[in-house]
Amino acid sequence: MAEQVVHVPDPTDFAADAHIERPHQGGPPMMVVEDLARFFDVSRPWLQRTLAREPRRILRAVDGIAFDIPKGTTLSLVGESGCGKSTVARLVVGLYPPTRGRVLFDGQDLAKARSDSTQRRRMQMIFQDPYASLNPRWRVRDIIAEPIRAFGLIQGAAAQRDRVAQLLTQVGLSPLDGEKFPHEFSGGQRQRISIARALSSNPEFLVCDEPTSALDVSVQAQILNLMKTLQRDLGLTYLFISHNLSVVRQISDRIGVMYLGRIAELAPAETLFVTPRHPYTRALMEAIPDLDMTGRQRIPVGGEVPSPISPPPGCAFHPRCPLANDRCRAEVPKLVPARATPGAIVACHAVEEGRDAG
């Protein structure tokens, strides 16, 4: 089925924002994350461990991160697979309880907000796979109307149908599409349905867990432009999860680069692309295709991502870092403001000592 095209603003009009150290743009923070960590016990059963004399095996999926998201802005988290991005998304919406730290949503601890239906309806999630996130047995109208019924937002079948038709139109589909089943739509159209379902509870904060990774490139651009339009019109705040740097550059105000459960660098979007400071961020930039064919020599990052069950001591990136020294191998770096790069904070001893020049 052909993908419907919606008129949206040019992505080149999207402006970059600044980070945590500056005054908040767009008002006070909607989301504040403080020393957030999530560990999983992946040990074998007790009897097997006892017979084999094995210790417990703890997977450190997220190991102490902190950020905030001002209202009306987008913070994106990027990194290689297994760095903890999706775990952060689930922690933020309360699907996982944190092992350590806390999440504040509009000033209220998320652990308390989970029992408040008014607070819960203010945040929604858009999932990665539009084929698996929609119930194949339900018609689209019922999928979109479910949050409306669950939170008791609109009474009466006719009023609910009108609201569903409005949401379908808002995401670039026809109100008549509400009578169809999910299998009758293309991937991009299914993701539009997922967005309409997320908007049906009138949320203010959306967690987008790689919402474009399962789509074709041309369809990705349409979905991203739709999300920017909705953010502008509805004043939405986004936490955007992705591994595609070109995607996050288009939609983000700020970008956080994650590595093995920690944030390595956090900076305004354009600042990160123009002057990346952390060696891992630079390595990710080297992986972006050179469309201008400048012929510039590239130095891709070597080695493998360490196991989060037994991470290396000191800086987790030091086994793959060309700038690593003895301090990097022994001491965990802290996020500090990067010199000569306003708005950026970096967790790197080489940047702190000025060894990253050139």
Measured distance CA(232)–CA(254) in Å, rounded: 16
Rounded to an integer, the average pLDDT of 278-299 is: 76
pLDDT at residue number 31: 92
pLDDT at 247: 83
pLDDT of residue 212: 87
| Cα–Cα distance measured from residue 209 to residue 180, given in angstroms and rounded to the nearest whole number | 25
Q: Looking at per-residue confidence, does 2 or 55 come out higher?
A: 55
For the whole prediction, is pTM greater than 0.75? yes
What number is the average pLDDT over the span 309-337? Answer: 92
- The class (CATH top level) of 15-122+203-305 is alpha beta
The terminus-to-terminus CA distance of the chain in angstroms comes to: 50
Q: What does the pLDDT read at residue 185?
A: 94
Angle between helix axes 140-151 and 157-170 (nearest 10 degrees) is 120
Confidence of residue 333 (pLDDT cuts 50, 70, 90): very high
Give the model confidence (pLDDT) of 225-261 as tens digits.
999 999 999 999 999 999 888 788 889 999 999 999 9
Q: Which two tokens stand for residue 190?
A: 């299914």
Q: Which helix (H) or strand (E) holds 254?
A: strand 254-259
Structure tokens, 313: 């001591």
Give me the residue spans of the domains in the chain: 15-122+203-305, 135-202
Helix (H) or strand (E) holding 281: helix 279-286
Amino acid, res. 304: E
What is the three-class DSSP state of 42? coil
Q: For the chain, how many helices (H) and strands (E)?
A: 13, 12
Q: What band does 291 get if pLDDT is binned at 50, 70 and 90?
A: low
User: Encoding tokens for residue 328?
Assistant: 């990097």
Residue 24 has pLDDT above 60, yes or no: no
Residue 191 has pLDDT above 60, yes or no: yes
What's the rounded mean pLDDT across residues 305-318? Answer: 90
Identify whether the C-beta of residue 238 lies closer than 8 Å to the C-beta of residue 208: yes
Q: Report pLDDT digits (tens) over 39-76.
A: 999 999 999 888 988 899 999 999 999 999 999 999 99
pLDDT in tens, 177-187: 999 999 999 98
Determine the pLDDT at residue 9.
Answer: 36
The rounded mean pLDDT for the chain is: 86
Q: Identify the pLDDT of residue 213.
A: 84
Q: How confident is the model at residue 20 (pLDDT cuts 50, 70, 90)?
A: very low
Calpha distance 63→78 (Å, rounded): 16
Share of the chain above pLDDT 90, in %: 59
Q: How confident is the model at residue 201 (pLDDT cuts 50, 70, 90)?
A: very high
Tell me what the mean pLDDT of segment 130-142 comes to.
92
pLDDT at 243: 85
For residue range 255-279, what is the model confidence (pLDDT) as tens digits?
999 999 999 999 999 999 999 999 9
pLDDT of residue 136: 93
Q: Read off the pLDDT of residues 94-103 as tens digits, 9 standing for 90 and up.
A: 889 999 999 9
304, pLDDT greater than 50: yes
Give mean pLDDT, residues 121-138.
Answer: 90
Q: How confident is the model at residue 8 (pLDDT cuts 50, 70, 90)?
A: very low
Q: How far is CA 124 from CA 65, 238, 310, in A?
A: 22, 10, 34
